[in-house]
């Protein structure tokens, strides 16, 4: 019998700190839909998702009608939009003074303030658009704010709403009561205390882990991702339909957020510890020249 002795107190070689890190797969709820990204809305650019119930309601999935009326029409407008491929149209023809519009299920907390950024236009200057948190039946209003549309051109507005209640089945609604047409191209809803569009609670957990590196956007997802999709204003980024991964990829969290939210806020690393940006090979779609060019462009952006 051979006896092997191991001295755990003796250190010979140091494991490189950057050898082991953490891996983030940009897939499903890891990033979007209650993931790292602070965005609370799904399909916030109103794309026509294949297989949705749009043809029944005229509203982009998973948005719903606040209430039904024969005098109010809804449709995904593929002719009038600012960015992307379409916008959501609310066409209020009746003259009653009730609010009509669209809504989506959200989770709100008591006394918490939320940031709203919305891009819209109308055919009737001077109308007021109501943004509100309500219960699921729209009987109780938890918080609301109104914005006045003073131009027939596309405009982006920023407002805040504070919720007066805790409700995991609340509704966030966008509605009008004036007789007019309203086009909504983009809307964003986030907690006001987010960190560079990342959820504060998850950022703090990442800080506690103290990862040496974070690899993003993942393995399989990297084969489909182009770094240009994730730069610039969120409302101007393209929405990609990826059936094999998720119904849509809104690019609310992308290259810019990986740099600012990851490098500076989440990790607080030194400048000689850059984030690891994964480039997909994707040989069945790209030539070797395209792969090389994409890698060089991404590396140039990451390193200035």
The two tokens of residue 108 are 């709100």
Q: What share of the chain is helix, strand, coil (3-state, %, to 5)?
A: 20, 30, 50
- pTM exceeding the 0.85 threshold for the entire prediction: no
> What is the pLDDT tens value at each position of the chain, 304 positions in all?
788 888 888 888 888 777 777 777 777 778 887 888 899 999 999 988 765 565 678 999 899 999 888 899 999 999 999 988 899 999 999 888 899 999 999 999 999 999 999 999 999 999 999 999 999 988 999 999 999 999 999 999 999 999 999 999 999 999 999 999 999 999 999 999 998 888 989 888 888 887 777 777 777 777 777 778 888 888 888 888 765 556 678 888 887 776 655 444 444 443 344 556 555 555 445 454 555 455 555 555 555 5
Cα angle vertex 50, ends 46, 55, to 5°?
Answer: 75
Domains of the chain in start order, with CATH, are 22-38+195-302 (no CATH), 54-191 (2.60.120.260)
Distance, in Å, from the CA atom of 141 to the CA atom of 179, rounded to the nearest integer, reads 23
The dihedral through the CA atoms of 47, 50, 56, 62 has a sign that is negative
């Amino acid at each position: 019998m051979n006896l092997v002795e191991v001295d755990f107190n003796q250190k010979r070689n140091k494991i490189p700190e950057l050898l082991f890190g953490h891996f983030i797969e940009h897939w499903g709820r890891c990033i979007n839909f209650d993931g790292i990204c602070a965005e609370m809305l799904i399909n916030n650019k109103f794309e026509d998702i294949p297989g949705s119930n749009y043809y029944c309601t005229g509203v982009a999935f998973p948005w719903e009608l606040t209430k039904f009326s024969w005098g109010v029409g809804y449709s995904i407008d593929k002719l009038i939009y600012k960015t992307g491929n379409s916008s959501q149209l609310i066409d209020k023809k009746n003259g009653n003074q009730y609010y009509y519009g669209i809504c989506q299920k959200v989770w709100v907390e008591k006394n918490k303030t939320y940031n709203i950024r919305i891009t819209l236009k109308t055919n009737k200057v001077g109308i007021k658009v109501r943004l509100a948190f309500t219960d699921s039946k729209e009987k109780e209003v938890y918080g609301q704010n109104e914005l006045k549309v003073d131009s027939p051109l596309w405009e982006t507005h920023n407002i805040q709403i504070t919720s007066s209640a805790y409700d995991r089945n609340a509704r966030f609604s966008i509605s009008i009561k004036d007789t007019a047409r309203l086009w909504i191209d983009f809307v964003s809803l986030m907690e006001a205390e987010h960190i560079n569009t990342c959820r504060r609670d998850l950022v703090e957990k990442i800080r506690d882990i103290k990862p040496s590196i974070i690899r993003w956007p993942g393995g399989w997802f990297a084969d489909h991702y182009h770094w240009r999709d994730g730069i610039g204003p969120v409302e101007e980024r393209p929405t990609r339909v990826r059936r094999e991964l998720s119904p849509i990829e809104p690019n609310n969290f992308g290259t810019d957020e990986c740099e600012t939210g990851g490098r500076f806020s989440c990790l607080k690393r030194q400048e000689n510890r850059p984030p690891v940006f994964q480039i997909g090979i994707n040989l069945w779609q790209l030539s070797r020249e395209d792969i090389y060019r994409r890698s060089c462009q991404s590396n140039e952006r990451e390193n200035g």
